[in-house]
Structure 1
């Protein structure tokens, strides 16, 4: 009976719940645009609108949400790792600060890089499964119906049978190269922008919803610009096993389609990034406030009961 209050009273518990709320909000807010981004990165031609119109006409609007179960199932654990690791490392890398001071911007960047490395271990298999489901095509005449995956578990089982653990973690190296520096940029931009939009909020935590939305959205846009070519290569490596590695995928993609291929789908990714990360940080910060307020009220009620 006492587990839940004690869990929320701990730093890990607060970050786990708030991270899960933020991550879930982000997945729900931006998943259709994420699917469109994957279609663009994997396709060799066509604008975002033409690809969207073609696929939706053939498979229906539900195609935009295909594969959503995998990221939703892992989002709480993933975001708990990211935000808790970031909170610990950002303060560990900040020298000469008191417990009431926010971490330095240097600490924020280094903490974000560390969080990105750890997140890669969790997110790489999840994104592999998600990409396979997003790229799966359903035809009206059900040709090759036996090749269609039934869900994330079916995809995971088939990949493991064919390639083992190496197949499950295909793309891990490029995922680390994408996530480590981009998370440093991500958290640094968020902390810097929210302080610029609402001076003093890093210390008092009183920023408005508008500040959270704008700072989170800009953080997402900046981080995606910093890592987007890596994401294109990652999508192609995880979608197909024909590449021998990162360099091989880069060379063959550029040779066949030119350097523009490294930025294909960027507009869709940036639109999604602003929406998703605005939602993530707003939901995360709001959940933390609610948890802290509830804990404070519970503490006061306990003290009053003991004194009474």
Structure 2
């Protein structure tokens, strides 16, 4: 029987462990994901110096709790769980098999980690997962962007037309000073998928998939190679299978992913929620979104 240190996970075991670990992580990180989504939409295509609803992630969470309650900090959590099944299950579960196959096809030793094969395998697995998970990430982003606040004039919860993430009627959209708002309000992830499919069909469910593929390819091509690189180079400084070795390697990988995918992530969020005063799309594709964002808001808009 192989020792625990040499045991290799099967594809199925890698898939299951990838999903479970990602779901545990997303439970704790989802509130910050909600904050990030609203910050990415706040001040969309507005010039520098324009007033914004939020100042930083903590301010977002504080206003969410005050106006919508603690549960609103976990908006889109159900969709996030399902998305992790599609994305991280395939990305983490199939990565090692793809890496070894690519290395073997190139005549290289699959037992040795090569940078180019790791990058290729990570990007391929990530793109495949992004395509499968796009409908779920679409719904998650829209659920997290939607906000309601208490209207003191009537003492009821209503949609706030002055919020950067308000859901407006067509007449409100046309008369609004800032048209860059989300108009999607779903009861749940399944309700969102149902509404999108009924209104737009399969095309609607795959909206923004080009941006999702770009975002995920960038993150996947870096995440696992960066982790392997850090773990290999830090191993001499830690005991075998040290908890702190995994923490240090994961932290390094996370920082690399953050720097690489942030612009693409902003483009993805905006493409999922885009529309203007006449109901037309603001962006043609992810590159157009990034170009307009930089041109109008500057690089800080990314």
Q: Deviations over 1:271-293 (max 9, x none)?
A: xxxxxxxxxxxxxxxxxxxxxxx
- Match runs of 1:211-230 below 5 Å: 211-230=245-264
Gap change, CA 1:50 and 1:10, over 3 Å in 2: closer
User: Paired residue for 1:129?
Assistant: 139
Residues 93 and 106, structure 1, Cα contact 8 Å, conserved in 2: no
Deviation at 1:20, TM superposition (A): 1.8
CA contact (8 A) 1:124 1:169 kept: yes
Structural mapping, 1:232-271, within 5 Å: 232-241=266-275, 242-246=281-285, 247-262=287-302
Asked if the contact 1:92–1:107 (Cα under 8 Å) also holds between the matched residues in 2, the reply is no
Please report how far the alpha carbon of residue 251 of structure 1 lies from its aligned counterpart in structure 2 after TM superposition: 4.0
Tell me the equivalent position of 1:96. 108
* 1:142 and 2:142 are equivalent in the alignment: no
1:80-111 Cα deviation digits (max 9, x unpaired): 3112321112112324326xx34323221211
Q: TM-score, normalised by structure 2?
A: 0.75
**Superposed displacement of residue 41, structure 1:** 0.5
Q: Tell me how many residue pairs correspond in the alignment.
A: 249
Instruction: Provide the residue aligned with 2:37 in structure 1.
Output: 38
Tell me the equivalent position of 2:5: none
**Which of the pair is proportionally richer in helix?**
1
Compared with structure 1, are the counterparts of its residues 102 and 206 closer, same or farther at alpha carbon in structure 2 (3 Å cutoff)? farther
Give the 3 Å change call, closer, same or farther, for CA 177–10 of structure 1 in structure 2: closer
1:74–1:182 Cα change, 3 Å: closer
Deviations 1:167-200 (A, max 9, x none): 1111100111111132111111100001122149
Question: Secondary structure, in 3 states, of the residue corresponding to 1:142?
Answer: strand
Shift of 1:148: 4.0
State the SS of the aligned residue for 1:116. Answer: helix
The verdict on how the C-alpha distance between 1:215 and 1:16 changes in structure 2, with shifts beyond 3 A counting, is same
Say which of 25, 32, 47 aligns to 2:55: 47
Structure 2: 5+ residue runs without aligned partners?
1-7, 44-51, 151-155, 160-166, 170-183, 276-280
Distance 1:186 1:10 in 2: 19
Contact preservation (8 Å) 2:82, 2:136: no
The secondary structure found in structure 2 opposite 1:187 is helix
Pair 1:155-2:155 in alignment: no
- TM-score, structure 1 length as denominator? 0.73
